[in-house]
Amino acid sequence: MLNRFDLFVIIVTLLPAAGCKRERSPLSSGVQKTALPEIKVTKSSKQLYTFFDGSEFKSVQAVDKIPAGRRGWVRVVDLGLAPTKRRDHELVYVADLRKARADGAFPYVVMSRVAFEMAARNRGGGVADPPGKAQKRPAVILYATSWCGACRAARKYMKQKGIQYVEKDIEKDAGAAAELMRKAKAAGISASGVPVLDIKGKLMQGFNPQKLEQLLGSPSA
């Protein structure tokens, strides 16, 4: 039979294992993949492309069959994925097929299907022009999604440090998705994961507080 001292020792020993300790925030967080499987969009891929021609949506199976003026905002369906994995009733891949990166792949983002279709109709199937150089740009732009843990870490850190930033949800905001695709293509990086931070014109994939502080102290791009 255990005496009171033995019980006290057991309780004290078990307390740390019960989770009674303060949770630490990660110092840095890598890029989190989107809610859909990562794909590679190339001219040779077995994919279906949907674009808005100004009056209705049309689908083709070759990039070359899309009019040049409609290639900047195209929904991509990877026919190699099982229908259960596509989730295209709610989320879709949206690619800029105007010019491939050095590796032959086209940049894309994942966003809501509703946002894609609304933006396609509003733009007549084209893609938004980049903002003018005279437009004031915030020091930090956080391209994120609502479910991304690494995005939450970046958001929390910047709020604690008093760093002013603008957040853009690429799944809900078609303009933000197009903007990120354009920047990622110019930088030669993938836009298929989040977070991506634009820090004074330089892109950082994932969240690293040391790199963030370093880029904030460097001249604007």
Distance in angstroms between the alpha carbons of the first and the last residue of the chain = 73
Domain co-membership, 57 together with 83: yes
Domain ends where: 100, 123, 146? 123
- Burial string for 38-51 (b: 16+ CB within 10 Å, else e) reads ebebeeebebebbb
Domain co-membership, 118 together with 148: no
Domain co-membership, 118 together with 141: no
> Do 108 and 76 meet the contact criterion of CB atoms below 8 Å apart?
yes
Q: Is 20 within the bounds of a domain?
A: no
DSSP-H helix ranges across the chain: 4-14, 83-86, 113-123, 149-161, 174-187, 209-216
User: What is the average pLDDT across 170-197?
Assistant: 87
Domain ends where: 101, 123, 145? 123
Give the CA distances from residue 218 to residues 25, 162, 203, in Å, rounded to whole numbers and listed in that order: 26, 18, 13
Split into its structural domains, the chain has a count of: 2
Rounded CA separation 57/166 (Å)? 33
Rounded CA separation 199/214 (Å)? 10
Q: Is 32 within the bounds of a domain?
A: no
Q: Is 1 within the bounds of a domain?
A: no
Give the domain extent around 167. Answer: 130-216
Q: How confident is the model at residue 123 (pLDDT cuts 50, 70, 90)?
A: confident
User: What is the average pLDDT across 52-79?
Assistant: 94
Q: What is the pTM of this model?
A: 0.63
Q: Is 38 within the bounds of a domain?
A: no
Domain co-membership, 113 together with 166: no
Whats the size of the chain, residue-wise?
221
201's tokens: 């014109």
Residue 17, pLDDT > 80, answer no
Give pLDDT tens digits for 151-169: 999 999 999 999 999 999 9
Q: Is 169 within the bounds of a domain?
A: yes
